[in-house]
Amino acid sequence: MTDSFITDLLPQLAGGAAHTHALGFAFEGLEGDRVRIRVPYRADLVGDPGTGVLAGGLVTTLLDHVGGLAVWVKLGGFKPVATLDLRVDYMRAAEAGRDLIAEARCFQMTRSIAFVRAWAFEDSPDNPAAASQAAYVIETTGGRPVGANLRTAKGTV
């Protein structure tokens, strides 16, 4: 993995897309193969105004996004990926008024699929508010157009 990927591109991928920027996602760092991002607590991200707890959809989005970052860390650079499967287990409500941190690690990869585990927490991954397991499809066409492997009756595309 190149230093420029870590210092330049990975932080942009963490919070530079329109939706991640709007949600306030920010790159927190990389420790080994574990990547971390943070979403600062904001009133407009609360799901239940009575409790002040962040919306569950925000937590799911955070875990999905940090999972994709973990795939790029494992790949050592950017390549298109898409979420194939995502399971989120909510273990407790996130603490009201607190930032939420997500950490993920890509623990297995095939030629076309990456498998990731992630956690969302306030202080430590040992006390998660939610955890996820996900599978991501990795683009493997090598830049060929969709359908390039199909042949017509005359043997051409």
Tens-place pLDDT, residues 135-153: 999 988 766 666 666 766 6
Buried b (16+ CB within 10 A) or exposed e, 1-26: eeeebbeeebbebbbeeeebeebbbb
Q: Stretch 39-47: mean pLDDT, rounded? A: 94
Q: Stretch 10-26: mean pLDDT, rounded? A: 88
Q: What pLDDT was estimated at residue 14?
A: 84
Answer whether residue 12 shows pLDDT above 60.
yes
Tens-place pLDDT, residues 95-106: 999 999 999 999
CA distance 22 to 40: 11
pTM: predicted TM-score of the whole model, two decimal places: 0.86
